[in-house]
Structure 1
Amino acid sequence: MSYKPLDTTKTFLITGTAGFIGFYLSKKLLEKGCKVIGIDNINDYYDVNLKYARLEKLKLFENFKFIKGDISDKAMIMNAFEEYKPNIVVNLAAQAGVRYSIENPDIYIGSNIIGFFNILEACKYNPVEHLVYASSSSVYGSNKKVPFEESDFVDNPVSLYAATKKSNELMAHTYSHLYKIPATGLRFFTVYGPMGRPDMAYFDFANKYFAGEPIKIFNNGNFKNDLYRDFTYVDDIVEGIERLLSNPPEKKENAAAHKVFNIGNNSPEKLMAFIGTLEKALSNALGRKVEFEKIFEPLKAGDVPATYASTNRLQAAIDFKPSTSIEDGLQKFADWYVEYYKIK
């Protein structure tokens, strides 16, 4: 199926631009000559120095404009839309993390529900060509059928984070139907890579090792029924988003111009194999053997035993399927980590 290449004459508004995926997407669009308006509140959910380091790289581009603000601030969002008149909006700002949502529910409602509502309202009053927004593989909950397909039943979330992401899909569908806003939701599957999120397991494992601490593995030491995760390298995620940007769902009479896509590696890895590959990647980067001290604990509330993406719908729409192996992806992360933190 043919798809339209990226239209670099458009103005892109990207929320969460100092975040992991937001940074890489903004950087790629800026390198192609696009005008990017970035919004981020630089919250302290994880090390803000990493967020500022990403921002500094984006500020090197003349066609980048940054607004420090929270998407739950409706007036700020409305003003940004009115002033910059974006053609395409990518909402990546969200409070992330499954376990954090159990301890801090208020933050998730503010960012993921109210914030996204504000984005939809801004698109309603300032019509855009395409709204792309982050959903999550967590909407599949404890789905036993694999691989996960976009048509699967997803009304049984097992965390508040997952519930907010499912809500985003419903809200986007409604606004698309009522106000003819072409919208695309993206269910990301365990994104990793250099300059990633320190709260993600692979990054946390590296931090723990160099702090001389053991890593915690939440599978109860059950190697037979080890956790499976569809780890997806950040460059693959960004490639998928970029290809979708200039290809909004078609507007049809009496039907919402709204679609949802999985973006995952379509190749789940056992968590223990992933950990072994990370140990090897760090060993290569340092030139000495790295082996984590491991503590096994039961699965945490809100965690799911497996994530596995079907990418058939994405491939049919934009002729793309993520393909970076964990060996290549984790080596790039390990090399970056050792250099960034100046580890000898």
Structure 2
Amino acid sequence: MIKVREITEVLEAFAPLALQESYDNAGLLVGDPDMNVSGVLITLDVTSEVLEEAIQHNLNMIVAHHPFIFSGLKKINGKNDIENCLITAIKNDIAIYASHTNTDAAANGLNQKFCDLLNLKNCRTLSPMNDALVKLVTFVPSDYAEIVRNAIFEAGAGHIGNYDCCSYNLEGEGTFRALEGTNPFVGLKGELHFEKEVRIETVLPSFMQHKVVAAMIRSHPYEEVAYDIYPLKNSWKGAGIGMIGELEEPLGEVDFFRKLKETLNISVIRHTEFLSKPVKKVALCGGAGSFLIDDAIRATADVFITGEIKYHDFFKAENRIILADTGHFESEQFVKEVFGELLQKNFSKFAVRLSEVNTNPIKYL
């Protein structure tokens, strides 16, 4: 049987919890990590109707995009839907996991799926994460450099854009003297030793530092491993909010909006005035992404699509860009497919169901 822990490990390898915003509450919200899983129900939101669907289909784990618990609960007595959901989940041994802003920020997460649905090409992150990278430097005997380097790469370091196994290597000579109580790999106690070494430098996300350093130490032949960690100011294009890409062929504004409505299966889009020019470059952010309007303008996007734009934010267009508000639910509804495809790929003989409950609280007349 597959355990909850195995499911969450796959989800967190795809969208690490370290990528979530500070206000978020992603992760395992309810349930025992070692519980056996009969099947998974995937949903955008957790509601009483979604829990009932899980119970009816004997699925004892729910994977949601939005956490149903954001703030602390002082009492759990069923006075609202959040408390009712929690009570129902516990009574029926249903685990609930949420992957929210970390999936928004993941390289192949929600926004990449949005780009794929619109058939955008040359896609890249609109607002890459800052202060998220560190540089690891270590010093290895020449004959062991390949072993240590490979261990570091296998632990997740050395990714730059679409390249992996990236490092810089410089040959040199290190010195050390082993004192009493040591067991040196090379050299003699009490004598200054000179050793041909390779200085290995590579980059990694800061949240992976513990894992990578542990792998380096395990593979390193020295009793005491010398290494340095440097914080970097580089933007990390491997994660961030929003994306921007290009249509294969430009479309007229009306034709593009028809394509957008058809793609999202919606009947209405709030937008700023058309600019009477073709749409080629498209920026987007599922959910509430109006904070990225300036980024989209700087990136010279023709259109910026998101799920929530306030009235006064529409004025920021200033005839430089078309702003399009599709609705929050509408811009994130396909996240169920993201999770479904991920779990089916990793657990091919496992029951995965996309919820049929429409959890959108907003109705249109």
- What range is the shorter-chain TM-score in? under 0.3
- Give the TM-score, by structure 1 length: 0.23
- Give the TM-score, by structure 2 length: 0.23
Structure ranking higher in helix proportion: 1
Structure ranking higher in strand proportion: 2
User: Rg larger in 1 or in 2?
Assistant: 2
